Structure 1
């Protein structure tokens, strides 16, 4: 009787299982399997999700669903379905152990992953598969080490204004984080077409940061976006040049800002682009050097990172491989050069990683790049970590990841870097033993990783608006940045034609002269003496330009004299030549050059010093060929201060050379 009851129960179970199997939507299964065979895991997972409730005992469907989630980066879902597949049928697929191990690795269950990889090695006869598993085991060892000594970084999803159910990735930012551009496969693409993976073709979007919030992004439209894949890969620090990867050409293009629009993207030329693939790029603050990735022949293997400099004709020069310390036999990609040009971030599969791509950092020291260092966990994970960019102040990094818990596909994340976390920590007093204990652990972290604070942000951001001093309307003006010590023009850029806004990045360690010029206006000059420093600062300065008219007066801020003398120093030449050019361009101009001092010393001494300094400037222009009848000079000593003579800084303001238009 018990035997008959057992058979009845068994038959009932078999009937229920058969009935459950009958509920599987065959069309959904067929479509899911087809998408799976094409590597379109996103679409496949959507079909499998329709049938998974009815496929609880189907090992093959559970396995394929698990692989889909694994390839999409959803390790928790992957583990759930892969473990279930293995319980139902341990030999469900020849790659089951390898896939299960990968899922554990991505979930940072490194010991479980190593056990599965070792089991896979014992079961496999394929030497390539065995080598791949052995490499994964080494990655697990690296991962354990990095997770045990995490860097002080905080990672947050940037939020639903930017991220949606489709993928967002490859964020690029202006140096001051005022603008972000990113790539997305969301609906509303320029071509409106679906790619083979079931998502829309890539388009580039722009968002602005206003009052602490990212605004709703806008599709940048034509000519930036086309009906094909268009991905942003870099933005010049001042936001005036956008670099684009076009999949149709597998080349890098550049577009320049034109008022409220952008120019048609232009191929960067044969020294950058080849018949092979160039995937990513980064440009220095002076816009004279680029770092980019390419798989052209002659490298060290896979994609390598190269450097190119702008030549005197404005073309990009020959590409130079960064060499075997940076590049390996595998892929190096997604370079990002810091604002001061001294720190290179890039992603690599060939250096010691936790799995896939990890982000590495190298410093330019003694005229060469240092050995790259993994920037650590939690910035790096066992998934691909790539396309990392950093704000000029070094406080925020941005990248994209397919982390579980995201809003769909890849999302953009903001990283509060160790530097910023440390600054927050000093303002927070330890109030309990747990906090103090955590502080002790922090102090024991390895000095070679990013948390040691080696990252520098030795730059000054100068930003503001240029306007007509009378009408207050925005002016599109040329900014010329000069190294006063050498006279070398470091960069030239325009303020925005609609808003007049500008942004200039100044690495420390130089004395800079900046001239702002516009036709029919007097040029405006500024001087910034930035000694070597690791400090970041922002200077906001609005600049009013004066029309060329009788009575207009400007201060020549890049005229320098020896202390208490009227001897012009060589670094004055650029400013003096700028004044000479103005006199040549406007031959009717007649000016007065005046010298001014602070109130240190006697009135007679300062009067004589100011006259001699004004005379020295006049003599320079006379020797260059400007007629003496067009110039007069006058010393005013300390009788015309522009600031109280009560601090060293104010006295510095009063020691100046001016010129005033007397006739035009």
Structure 2
């Protein structure tokens, strides 16, 4: 990495140039221009493109095609600005030469490989026909240089030509995926990358790119919610040139890549007593005088998959395997062989929990351009030919660092969402193909206010034909921009926010629609003047002898909703469960609803009091939110209704509650649990007084309730199943 003194020198020149451009433009001397060129070259040498490019721009003029080449290649390596490379490189190739001396200040010609970088720029911008034409032109010109020594690595041109053809095929046959932002808490910075997640799913470490610096961010999941991330560079003593690589099974061992002045090495740190230890360099079986870029560990902590460009490999970066020996040290490295490794680069390998699937990125194999994400089945050193994960996970640009989760079902992945903005998403892989996909994009805002959007600002995407909720999205926390990836079909978007009237927008995408990006009209939600409702206390609702047969339903079943409901053909509709009790109660206590239906079955003996019939799950959630705003307690759940089965009735009196506290002596409920109504005291066979809240028909219901703010102060609270332990 470039040293701090060098950075300050580059920054000083940038600031000077930006302040004094009018004088500089007319009065610059040849000596000053040479100095600027030398500093730009220094920054460029160290890969500091965002520092080098403004310096090159100061030197730009229409007749200097070498400078235009350098500007173009800088843009091609700057996140969010790659398309700006095209006009500079288009100009550069018109005056390019094999023998151009590009490191000379006097050189005005561009090098011949300007054609290659122009083709890559076209490719990244999805102008694939132009890319193919330019790659073929470059290949012809490069072959003409053979008599003069020839250009190197010409096989990579053929690889990119094939990648262009692959890209056309992959885009026409996209993979069906769904995605959601992992947490708005992880969107504090602009570029959030390299999500390393423990196998148990309770720890995440990722890298926030802050210009020239890297911040290592750490978060734990508590009660199924990610906590605000903290920066751990100081704990790790890692400097600013580290990037997150992977975590072990329980999130107590972290592997990192450290640039080390372009040497590239792998380090590890341990999480003990609530903090991270300083990083420690792995042994010489892993780190060598060559370049090591990534490492990930198996679930049992005994196998390490890492990348290195050491001698003896297939070419470029290869993936290696090291096993932990009896002394706990990493043993000799084994190359995974030609099934996985190619003559080009492989990077960011991850092994799944069951050790049967290897996910990695490669510039070889059958890709779309740059690095693509692949997976291969096998184990140890024996692997099958890898499968490309396809479009839209892969693109014509570099795609790296897909962290698999739940074996081959899910993953964590950083995706560009806006200009110089990348956020971490939770991906669900369906392993099925769509005919053709499109991007729905738009802007969401609230009238008369400027806010930072969060998880409360929900956009539901539904299929108008089936009523299924296809995806749930959120606007960018600062800009309000959003997007969905969809196939052809009829869609409805439902925009919601607390205290605002929801809006709907219908759209249709028919086969043959020419543009892949559909720009929807801007949505502005109007304020819904708040009506203050008294908080309803349903804990003491009167019991009645029986339920009115007109509203009692016994031939249908009610279940918790899941993420896979859209594939469930047995669902009749969705409804909102207001309460679930063992007794029939007076339904007149349920204010503001006039359509209460009561479901009952002999299996769990619960009377389930529900309101609403919705074919669209999103509308059921909107109805529940409306009840919340009218004073209903937080213990309302969305349920799916299906036809009853002929299963044998097994009487049961079990239910679930939140245990807030257990004490040897009785406490005063109103003082100990202020703000909570309906807390129950039970004395159990252990002689202790147990304080319980709520009656839930499933553990999932209770766990959802436990995540709410009102329970956060009760550190010992947990969900428990209630059975015959209770005495009184």
User: Could you say which TM-score interval applies, normalised by the shorter chain?
Assistant: 0.5 to 0.7
Alpha-carbon distance between aligned partners in 2 of 1:93 and 1:48, rounded to the nearest angstrom = 14
Query: Could you report, residue by residue, the CA deviation over 1:588-622 in whole angstroms, capped at 9, with x for unpaired residues?
Result: xxxxxxxxxxxxxxxxxxxxxxxxxxxxxxxxxxx
User: Any residues of structure 2 matched to 1:563-642 within 5 Å, and which?
Assistant: none
Which structure carries more strand by proportion? 2
Query: Could you report, residue by residue, the CA deviation over 1:126-159 in whole angstroms, capped at 9, with x for unpaired residues?
Result: 3426444333212212222222211123567879
Segments of 5+ residues of structure 2 without an aligned counterpart are: 1-21, 98-108, 435-458, 468-486, 491-507, 513-563, 565-655, 663-721
Alpha-carbon distance between aligned partners in 1 of 2:28 and 2:201, rounded to the nearest angstrom = 50
Alpha-carbon distance between aligned partners in 2 of 1:366 and 1:42, rounded to the nearest angstrom = 41
Structure 2 counterpart of 1:206:
218
Task: Tell me by how many angstroms 1:21 deviates.
Answer: 6.8
Confirm or deny that 1:65 pairs with 2:43.
Answer: no
Alpha-carbon distance between aligned partners in 1 of 2:433 and 2:41, rounded to the nearest angstrom = 50
Alpha-carbon distance between aligned partners in 1 of 2:126 and 2:88, rounded to the nearest angstrom = 17
Does the CA-based 8 Å contact 2:259-2:265 persist in structure 1?
A: yes
Query: Could you report, residue by residue, the CA deviation over 1:232-269 in whole angstroms, capped at 9, with x for unpaired residues?
Result: 21111321111123343744332221121123434443
Segments of 5+ residues of structure 1 without an aligned counterpart are: 1-17, 188-198, 442-452, 454-539, 547-641, 645-649, 651-664
Task: Tell me by how many angstroms 1:36 deviates.
Answer: 4.1
Query: Could you report, residue by residue, the CA deviation over 1:553-584 in whole angstroms, capped at 9, with x for unpaired residues?
Result: xxxxxxxxxxxxxxxxxxxxxxxxxxxxxxxx
Confirm or deny that 1:142 pairs with 2:162.
Answer: no
**Greater Rg, structure 1 or structure 2?**
1
Does the CA-based 8 Å contact 1:168-1:182 persist in structure 2?
A: yes
Higher relative contact order (CA 8 A, sep 6+): 1
Alpha-carbon distance between aligned partners in 1 of 2:89 and 2:287, rounded to the nearest angstrom = 43
Alpha-carbon distance between aligned partners in 2 of 1:51 and 1:164, rounded to the nearest angstrom = 36
Q: Secondary structure at the match of 2:465?
A: coil
Task: Tell me by how many angstroms 1:362 deviates.
Answer: 0.9
Given candidates 238, 244, 249, the residue that maps to 1:226 is 238
User: Any residues of structure 2 matched to 1:60-209 within 5 Å, and which?
Assistant: 61-72=67-78, 74-83=81-90, 93-95=110-112, 96-124=114-142, 125=145, 126-128=150-152, 130-153=154-177, 162=186, 168-175=192-199, 177-186=201-210, 199-200=212-213, 202-208=214-220
Task: Tell me by how many angstroms 1:59 deviates.
Answer: 5.1
Which structure carries more helix by proportion? 1
Structure 2 counterpart of 1:40:
48
User: Any residues of structure 2 matched to 1:86-485 within 5 Å, and which?
Assistant: 93-95=110-112, 96-124=114-142, 125=145, 126-128=150-152, 130-153=154-177, 162=186, 168-175=192-199, 177-186=201-210, 199-200=212-213, 202-208=214-220, 217-227=229-239, 229-248=241-260, 250-364=264-378, 368-392=382-406, 396-400=410-414, 405-407=418-420, 411-414=422-425, 416-419=427-430, 428=463, 430=465, 434-435=488-489
Does the CA-based 8 Å contact 2:217-2:230 persist in structure 1?
A: yes
Q: Secondary structure at the match of 1:269?
A: coil
Alpha-carbon distance between aligned partners in 2 of 1:309 and 1:542, rounded to the nearest angstrom = 44
Task: Tell me by how many angstroms 1:274 deviates.
Answer: 4.0
Query: Could you report, residue by residue, the CA deviation over 1:510-569 in whole angstroms, capped at 9, with x for unpaired residues?
Result: xxxxxxxxxxxxxxxxxxxxxxxxxxxxxx99999x9xxxxxxxxxxxxxxxxxxxxxxx
Query: Could you report, residue by residue, the CA deviation over 1:34-63 in whole angstroms, capped at 9, with x for unpaired residues?
Result: 5446643211223355677xx578655444
Q: Secondary structure at the match of 2:236?
A: coil
Alpha-carbon distance between aligned partners in 1 of 2:658 and 2:353, rounded to the nearest angstrom = 22
Aligned residues: 417
Q: Secondary structure at the match of 2:300?
A: coil
TM-score when scaled to structure 2? 0.48
RMSD across aligned positions (CA):
4.7
Alpha-carbon distance between aligned partners in 1 of 2:215 and 2:23, rounded to the nearest angstrom = 46
Query: Could you report, residue by residue, the CA deviation over 1:323-352 in whole angstroms, capped at 9, with x for unpaired residues?
Result: 221122332221111122221101122322
Task: Tell me by how many angstroms 1:430 deviates.
Answer: 3.4
Task: Tell me by how many angstroms 1:383 deviates.
Answer: 2.1
Alpha-carbon distance between aligned partners in 2 of 1:541 and 1:295, rounded to the nearest angstrom = 56
Query: Could you report, residue by residue, the CA deviation over 1:266-306 in whole angstroms, capped at 9, with x for unpaired residues?
Result: 44434444444433222222223222223344433333222
TM-score when scaled to structure 1? 0.53
